[in-house]
Amino acid sequence: MNTTKQNKPKLKITAQSIGPIMSIDAALSEEKRNLIFARNGTGKSFIARSLRMLDKAALSEMDTVEIPDLLVSEESDGVGSFALYEDENCIGRIELNTSTKTTSILEPSYIFHVFSEDYVDENLRNKLESLDGNITHEIVVGKDNAELDEKQKLLDETAAKLKEARSDLDAEYVIGKNLHQKKFGIRASLGAFKALTTDIYFQDQTYAPDGSAETLDKLLKQYELFKSIPQETDQPVPFAAPEFVIDMNSIASALQAVTSPSSVARTFRDKIASDPSFFEAGLHKHRAAPDNCPFCTQDMGDVAMTAVDAYAKYFDDKEAQEIKRINRMISNLDSVVLGLDTWLSRYLQNARRYDVLKTYFPSCSSSVVPDPSKIVQGLKSDVASLQSSLREKLNSLSSVLPMPDIAWNKTQASISSLVFEANELIDALNKLVENSDEERKSIQNKSCKAFEITFFGDNKDKIDEIRAFTADIARLSAEVAEIRKSHGDRAQARDRVVETFSLLLGRFFGDRYTFDAESFKVHRKDMEIRRGSDRTLSDGEKAALAFCYFIAQTHLRVASNEDYEKVYFVFDDPVTSMSFDFVYSIIQALKLLRINKDGEIQFNLNSDVHRPKMLILTHNNYFFNVVSTNNVVSKSGLFQLVAGATAHRLVSQKSFATPHLLQLKHVAEVANKTIAPDHTTPNAIRSVVEGMWKFCRPDLTDFDGFLRYLIEQYEIEIKSVLINHFSHHTGFDMLPDSEDISLAASEALRVVEILASGQLKNVQS
**654 in a domain, yes or no?**
no
Q: For residue 318, report the phi and psi dihedrals to the nearest 5 degrees.
A: -60, -40
Residue 27 to residues 71, 108, 638, Cα–Cα distance (Å)? 21, 18, 12
Q: Quote the strand ranges of 141-218, DSSP E.
A: none
Question: How much is the mean pLDDT over the chain?
Answer: 81
Give how many domains the chain has, as a whole number: 4
Mark whether 306 and 174 lie in a shared domain.
no
Q: Is 333 helix (H, G, I), strand (E, B) or coil?
A: helix
User: How much of the chain exceeds pLDDT 90, in percent?
Assistant: 23
Element (H, E) at 524: strand 521-524
Distance from C-alpha of 718 to C-alpha of 748, rounded to nearest angstrom:
8
Q: For 647, which DSSP code?
A: -
Distance from C-alpha of 637 to C-alpha of 628, rounded to nearest angstrom:
9
Say which range, 29-38, 62-71, 513-522, 642-651, has the weakest mean pLDDT. Answer: 513-522
Half-sphere exposure of 725 (CA within 13 A, CB side): 16
Beta bridge partners of 516: 521
Task: Assess contact for 550 and 501: CB atoms under 8 A.
Answer: no
Task: Assess contact for 651 and 640: CB atoms under 8 A.
Answer: yes
Q: Is residue 184 scored above 60 in pLDDT?
A: yes
Task: Assess contact for 596 and 590: CB atoms under 8 A.
Answer: no
Q: Quote the strand ranges of 2-76, DSSP E.
A: 11-18, 21-27, 33-38
Say which range, 147-161, 354-368, 491-505, 726-740, has the weakest mean pLDDT. Answer: 726-740
The pLDDT score that the predictor gives to residue 578 is: 75
Task: Assess contact for 21 and 43: CB atoms under 8 A.
Answer: yes
Q: Which amino acid is at 445?
A: N
Segment 256-300, tens digit of pLDDT: 887 765 444 454 445 555 566 665 666 556 566 665 666 555 554
The pLDDT score that the predictor gives to residue 438 is: 74
The pLDDT score that the predictor gives to residue 1 is: 42
Q: Is residue 711 scored above 80 in pLDDT?
A: yes
Mark whether 359 and 373 lie in a shared domain.
yes
Alpha-helical segments (H) within 510-638 = 533-536, 539-552, 580-592, 621-629
Q: Is residue 363 scored above 80 in pLDDT?
A: no
Beta bridge partners of 83: 14, 93
Task: Assess contact for 547 and 583: CB atoms under 8 A.
Answer: no
Mark whether 411 and 299 lie in a shared domain.
yes
Q: Of 641, 669, 696, which one is at a domain's C-terminal end?
A: 641
User: How much of the chain exceeds pLDDT 70, in percent?
Assistant: 81
Say which range, 224-233, 267-276, 433-442, 564-573, has the weakest mean pLDDT. Answer: 267-276
Q: Which amino acid is at 499?
A: E
Task: Assess contact for 405 and 185: CB atoms under 8 A.
Answer: no
Mark whether 450 and 431 lie in a shared domain.
no
Q: Taking the C-alpha atoms of 465, 467, 469 and 473 in order, what is their torsion angle to the nearest 10 degrees?
A: -170
Distance from C-alpha of 426 to C-alpha of 444, rounded to nearest angstrom:
23
Q: Tell me, what CATH number does 136's domain have?
A: 3.40.50.300
> HEC profile for 263-293?
CCCHHHHHHHHHCHHHHHHHHHHHHHCCCEC
Task: Assess contact for 610 and 561: CB atoms under 8 A.
Answer: no
Q: At what angle do helices 318-358 and 248-256 cross, to 10 degrees?
A: 140
- How many Cβ atoms are within 10 Å of 341's Cβ, its own excluded? 12
Integer-rounded Cα Rg, in Å, for the chain is: 44
Mark whether 256 and 184 lie in a shared domain.
no
Domain containing 177 equals 148-213+437-486
List of residues 6+ apart from 484 with CB closer than 8 A: 140, 142, 148, 559, 560
Distance from C-alpha of 378 to C-alpha of 622, rounded to nearest angstrom:
84
Mark whether 679 and 602 lie in a shared domain.
no
Q: For residue 705, report the phi and psi dihedrals to the nearest 5 degrees.
A: -65, -35
Distance from C-alpha of 320 to C-alpha of 503, rounded to nearest angstrom:
124
Mark whether 129 and 15 lie in a shared domain.
yes
Q: Of 374, 403, 436, which one is at a domain's C-terminal end?
A: 436
**183 in a domain, yes or no?**
yes
Say which range, 68-77, 92-101, 170-179, 752-761, has the weakest mean pLDDT. Answer: 752-761
The pLDDT score that the predictor gives to residue 242 is: 82
Segment 622-678, tens digit of pLDDT: 888 888 878 899 989 999 998 877 889 998 887 545 667 778 888 888 888 888 888
Mark whether 119 and 162 lie in a shared domain.
no
**43 in a domain, yes or no?**
yes
Say which range, 324-328, 434-438, 759-763, has the weakest mean pLDDT. Answer: 434-438
Q: Of 641, 669, 688, which one is at a domain's C-terminal end?
A: 641
Mark whether 405 and 346 lie in a shared domain.
yes
**583 in a domain, yes or no?**
yes
Q: Is 611 helix (H, G, I), strand (E, B) or coil?
A: coil
**634 in a domain, yes or no?**
yes
**26 in a domain, yes or no?**
yes
**30 in a domain, yes or no?**
yes
Mark whether 420 and 297 lie in a shared domain.
yes
Task: Categorize the per-residue pLDDT at 314 as very low, low, confident or very high, splitting at 50, 70 and 90.
Answer: very low
Mark whether 472 and 400 lie in a shared domain.
no
List of residues 6+ apart from 246 with CB closer than 8 A: 332, 333, 336, 383, 386, 408
- How many Cβ atoms are within 10 Å of 712's Cβ, its own excluded? 9
Mean pLDDT of 302-307: 52
Give long-range contacts, CB 8 A cutoff, 24+ apart: 320-323: 320/262, 320/272, 320/276, 322/254, 322/257, 322/259, 322/397, 323/273, 323/276, 323/394, 323/397
pTM of the predicted structure, to 2 decimals: 0.52
Task: Categorize the per-residue pLDDT at 732 as very low, low, confident or very high, splitting at 50, 70 and 90.
Answer: very low
Q: Which residue has the higher pLDDT, 541 or 637?
A: 637
Distance from C-alpha of 214 to C-alpha of 212, rounded to nearest angstrom:
7
Segment 364-410, tens digit of pLDDT: 778 899 999 998 898 888 899 898 989 988 888 878 899 988 888 88
Distance from C-alpha of 554 to C-alpha of 612, rounded to nearest angstrom:
11
Mean pLDDT of 159-174: 92
Distance from C-alpha of 629 to C-alpha of 624, rounded to nearest angstrom:
9
Mark whether 349 and 495 lie in a shared domain.
no
**160 in a domain, yes or no?**
yes
